[in-house]
Chain A
Amino acid sequence: MNEIWAGLEAAFWLIITLDADLVEITLRSLHVSLSALVIASCIALPFGAWLAIRRFRYRRTAIAVLNALMGLPPVVVGLIVYLLLSRSGPFGVMGLLFTPSAMIIAQVIIITPLIASITHQAMRELWSEYHDLLISLNTTRRQRIVTLIWDGRRALLTAALAGFGRAIGEVGAIMIVGGNIDHATRVLTTAIALETGKGDFALALGLGFVLIALALAVNFMIHALSRTEREGTW
């Protein structure tokens, strides 16, 4: 019990005094997950919207695959990315393994299906609501997409935030492809795992508080967004 109290106190001081290690690790976590978020959003938002609007032959299959991909265990994604990037793998020559880039790649693979799936659902609902009106007003395809994206912007933001939440808290994949190297690929989650293992609860708890704060902030924003949507206060 004493050990935990001492850890909490030390953690508190680390945060108050902006401990160099803590700041560095936090910033790297943000860098990796935000990069993954931007890349994944660039792929997933248009893809999800496109899936909702276009009718094509293998649409149902595509949606089923997307939903299946959402359930991919991150550890397995890590393993696959590791094999692809390892020295003997197809992309080995690029030397990306154990760099932040490898971690970004793994996170992109993990969160793209999630963002695309949420986007698809929201856009499909909006499209079925607007369909007759937009057809009646003789909109061009471009005008339709712009209208759907604009009026569905809260849902899209929610999708992105959900993706970010998943990325920032993920540990299995980035541990494998990043290697948790000090001052290179150590991020919040992998550092917590390591420090806990070592029994250094001060830093682990300090990092844990930062992670919880980030996760809470993300969920609070999602909640606020869905509330403004429900109450129609925009």
Chain B
Amino acid sequence: MSLTLSLENAVVRRRGKAILGPIDISLEELHFTIVLGPNGSGKTTLLRVLHGVERLSGGTLSLSKPGEHARRAQAYVFQSPIMLRRSVRANLAYPLQLLGCPKAEIEAKVATWARRISLGDALERPAPRLSGGEKQKLALARALIRDPEVLFLDEPCANLDGRSTREIETLLLEAHAQGTRVIMTTHDLGQAKRLASDVIFLLNGAVHDAGLAESFFERPNTAQAQAFLRGDIVE
């Protein structure tokens, strides 16, 4: 049984302003969930709250496994990639070192993942000096290297060219096929359609619509969702 997360009556307030909620969602089945919504609708906040890096102002987050295990079973790729001031190799090795993995295993995994993101020849380069796209790929590989049960991705393909986007999508679909539950935000509707098995549509901090991908994209329930899919301004 892999990890499941659910939010009940969750609210996030910052500086007296409600920026998310109240929200009830449950991430149970092994879906590939895409979170959609305009800028500032609360996508990042929702992901951060689910992952536990942002605290709730009200409501509860429940995990199907005890705390320590649940935290280890998750990985998060932040909207702007965070690079350790170390080499590419050291960045990839870091999450495994934290777990105390044996050296040989770390080396093997690092080599594999570096190759998968086409950074096999860049292992000794300082990660903060990589290009934006290379950093995004490295952040993804560093998240996947621990084989997470739940993977959060906040716009992992923003600013990437077509080829890099495909590379990342392939990696994500692979991970999903091997049993990783993915929850990801994107502003690329084409990508959303390619990847999503279900969709959460946020508007002004609330879940405006949610459901299986086909029905959301074919027959959106609300006028706002229809407008959003057409690329119109939604309020």
Q: A interface vs B, CB < 8 Å?
A: 126, 129-130, 132-133, 135-139, 143, 147, 151, 232-234
Contact = CB atoms under 8 A, between A and B. Distances in A.
B180 to A, nearest CB: 16
Interface stretch (B2-10, B28-36, B79-87, B167-175): B79-87
6 closest Cβ pairs, A-B complex: A232-B126, A138-B71, A133-B82, A232-B129, A136-B76, A151-B85
Nearest to B152: A136
Contacts, number: 38
Given A136-B78, A138-B72, 6 more contacts: A133-B78, A135-B53, A136-B74, A139-B98, A151-B85, A234-B126
B192 interface: no
B128 A232 contact: yes
Given A138-B72, A151-B85, A132 B98 contact: no
Given A136-B75, A138-B71, A232-B128, A130 B98 contact: no
Given A136-B53, A136-B75, A129 B126 contact: no
Q: Which of B51, B85, B98 has the most CB of A within 10 A?
A: B85
B82 A129 contact: yes
B76 to A, nearest CB: 5
B82 A132 contact: yes
Interface in B76-121: 76, 78, 82, 84-86, 94-95, 98
Nearest to B82: A133
Contacts of A129: 82
B127 to A, nearest CB: 9
Interface residues of B, number: 19
Contacts of B98: 137-139, 143
A151 B84 contact: yes
Nearest to A232: B126
Nearest to A140: B98
A137 B95 contact: yes
B46 to A, nearest CB: 15
Interface in B47-66: 51, 53
Contacts of A138: 68, 71-72, 98
Nearest to B79: A132
A233 B82 contact: no
B22 to A, nearest CB: 25
A138 B76 CA distance: 11
B182 to A, nearest CB: 16
A233 to B, nearest CB: 7
Interface in B126-156: 126, 128-129
Nearest to B84: A151
Contacts of B72: 138
Contacts of A137: 94-95, 98
A132 B45 CA distance: 13
B129 A132 contact: no
Given A136-B53, A136-B76, A151-B84, A233 B126 contact: yes
Nearest to B67: A138
Contact of B51 (A136, A143, A147, A234): A136
Q: Which of A130, A132, A133 has the most CB of B within 10 A?
A: A133
Given A138-B72, A233-B126, A151 B86 contact: yes
